[in-house]
Chains A and B, each alone.
Chain A
Amino acid sequence: MRVGYYPGCSLENTAKEYDLAARLVTNHLGIQLVEIPDWNCCGATAAHSTDHLLAVALPARNLVIAEEMGLDITVPCAACYQRLRTAHRELTENRAVAEEVAGVLGRQYRGTVRIHSLLETMADVGFDVLSAQVVNPLKGLRVACYYGCLLVRPPSTGCDDPESPQLMDRLVETTKAEAVRWGYHNECCGAALIFGAREVALKLVQRILRNAVDTGAQVIACACPLCQSNLDIRQGQVNKAFGTNFAVPVLYFPQLIGIAMGLAPRDLGLETHFVDPQKALRIVSG
């Protein structure tokens, strides 16, 4: 399988371990990722809360590049994923917007690119195929799969059921780990508020961590650089603000799958997390 890869800005910066793990694991599974050449930022929250045209035009440029190369796109970041899907929807359903965007872009988008989250791309390989690759089963590890918002909402762009998503749980279960049932799997972590209204964001993080721990999860798995950094690196600030003592490792789902496939923890960037996940993983890998 050959598919266009849109890493997004975070994966070049604070979430480089997600990029490492995504590339390594897909490669191991025989998926060829072709990075969209000269891709640009999707604009994220900054663009869509500021200007509607810009919020569509920024992702549109990436869609056009992929289309010209005849590639579909897989996206590891939930926010980029949702921006690309939303732009695709607007450009194919709203003529006025499509014309305006074509005007500033100097190129027309025909609407032929299919945009998938990395979760879908991995699931497409087949759960049985994934299971067959497991050499280091994560038996006994209790994982809380965290989807957050933009992978599953709004329903018009989401890649799974908005209220009870399953994709990540099923992927994680191929490693023989236990995906726990918990209530906060699709609650918002407030990443978009971390600069504008930090006290509110920290409260949301605190609730999610609390619920994960109460369910008995040893680690949280996620599929978004913004969720991961919000839930992982803010734990110190949460503990300070709420008098708690959380120390829950937050991993990217391909890191867990990679470990189960016997890939080296170092190559998967496991040593770059705020809360070190290696102790929790040693429980299972002896």
Chain B
Amino acid sequence: MLLGKSQIDPGFLASTARASGQDTLSHCYQCGKCTAGCPTAFAMDYKPNQIIRLLQLGHKEKALGSRAIWVCAGCFTCTTRCPCGIDIAQVMDNLRIVARQEGRTGQGKRAVLFNELFLRSVRRNGRVFETGVVAAFNLKIGKPLHDTELARFMLKGRKLRFVPVRIRKTAEMAGLFAKRKKG
């Protein structure tokens, strides 16, 4: 892995370890087991073991700016197999969270947009209104007719709802979302 010059943030390893609850993050000895079993490594710029190495070296910018954290499917194969007991999937989650808080989501625009629309729906209804979220997403990415053949199929099977199901106590949702960190 050629790193070239970039800003080093020596504290990033410790802060990621703390936020993700991974005391053994510094123990990674690059065995590569996480990457070997990772189903999406083929599409990553930095492989999971390299992401961990970037953290150890303090390359915050590179880790947060990677495409890897957005093609991670959160499958926990890496976590299951790491000999150092590192929950790599959880680390990936934390990197996504920090990337979003710091506005560095250039590589994950669609994922962030989808998550945002999803959570907005949950906040409003207490449950996610799938039809509404998908329609809004397709509109925003400029493909309003994305998946129309699927929509037709779901209509036939009466799988599409046209009005959201709302829970009774939607007010409680506001409470749960109140402390959500901005980003």
A interface with B by C-beta (< 8 Å): 9-10, 12-14, 16, 38-41, 43-54, 57-58, 61, 94, 100, 103-106, 149-150, 153-155, 162-163, 187-188, 190-193, 195-197, 199-201, 203-204, 233, 236, 271-272, 274
In the assembly, what is the distance between CA of A88 and CA of B108, in Å? Answer: 29
Beta-carbon contact of A153 and B115 below 8 Å: no
Q: Is B178 an interface residue (CB 8 A)?
A: yes
CA distance A45 to B172 in the complex (A): 21
Encode B90-111 as 1/0 by CB contact (under 8 A) with A.
0001101100100000001011
B75 in complex: contacting residue of A10, A43, A53, A149, CB < 8 Å:
A149
| B151-175 interface bits toward A, Cβ cutoff 8 Å, 1 = contact, 0 = none | 0011001111100010111001101
Given contacts A13-B130, A49-B111, A200-B71, contact A153 B76 (CB under 8 A): yes
29 A-B contact pairs sorted by A residue (CB < 8 Å): A9-B127, A10-B130, A12-B127, A13-B131, A13-B161, A16-B159, A40-B126, A40-B172, A43-B122, A46-B114, A49-B93, A49-B96, A52-B19, A53-B179, A53-B180, A54-B177, A61-B172, A103-B179, A104-B176, A149-B74, A153-B80, A154-B80, A154-B87, A187-B39, A188-B39, A196-B70, A197-B71, A233-B150, A272-B158
Question: Does B89 touch A at the CB level, under 8 Å?
Answer: yes
B40 CB within 8 Å of chain A: yes
In chain B, residues 134-154, which have Cβ atoms closer than 8 Å to a Cβ of chain A?
A: 134, 137, 149-150, 153-154
Contact of A274 with B77 at beta-carbon distance under 8 Å, contacts A40-B127, A50-B97, A104-B175 already known = no
Ranked 5 nearest A-B pairs via Cβ: A196-B111, A188-B75, A272-B157, A153-B76, A46-B118
Query: B5: CB under 8 A from chain A?
Result: no
**Mostly helix, strand, loop or mixed at chain A's interface?**
helix
Q: Is the CB of A190 within 8 A of B39?
A: yes
Set of chain A residues within 8 Å of B168, measured between Cβ atoms: 38
Q: Tell whether B36 is near chain A: CB-to-CB under 8 Å.
A: no
CA distance A93 to B21 in the complex (A): 12
Main secondary structure on B side of the interface with A: helix
B21 to chain A, nearest CB (A): 8
A45 contact from B74, B116, B165, B178, Cβ within 8 A:
B74
Q: How large is the interface on B (under 10, 10 to 19, 20 to 34, 35 or more residues)?
A: 35 or more
Whether A41 pairs with B111 at a CB distance below 8 angstroms is no
Query: In the complex, what residues of B have CB within 8 A of residue A40's CB?
Result: 122, 126-127, 167, 172-173
Q: Is the CB of B75 within 8 A of A45?
A: no
B residues less than 8 Å from A46 (CB atoms): 114-116, 118-119, 122
Q: Contact between A192 and B175 (Cβ–Cβ < 8 Å)?
A: no
Q: Tell me whether B128 is interfacial, beta carbon within 8 Å.
A: yes
C-alpha spacing A191/B180, complex, angstroms: 25
Q: B22 near A: Cβ within 8 Å?
A: no
| Residues of chain B with a CB closer than 8 A to A12's CB | 127, 161, 165
Which of B73, B118, B131 has most chain A Cβ within 10 Å?
A: B73
User: Which B residue's beta carbon lies closest to that of A13?
Assistant: B130
Residue B43 lies at the interface, judged by CB distance under 8 Å to chain A:
yes
**Contact, CB under 8 Å: B115 / A41:** no
Q: Smallest CB–CB gap between B67 and chain A, Å?
A: 9
Closest B residue by C-beta to A155: B80
Shortest Cβ distance from B182 into chain A, in angstroms? 10
Q: Which residue of A lies closest to B37 (CB)?
A: A187
Give Cα A9–Cα B118 distance, bound, in whole angstroms. 12
Q: Beyond A105-B175, A155-B80, is A58–B122 a contact (Cβ under 8 Å)?
A: yes
Known pairs A50-B97, A193-B71, A197-B110; A149 contacts B77 (CB<8 A): yes
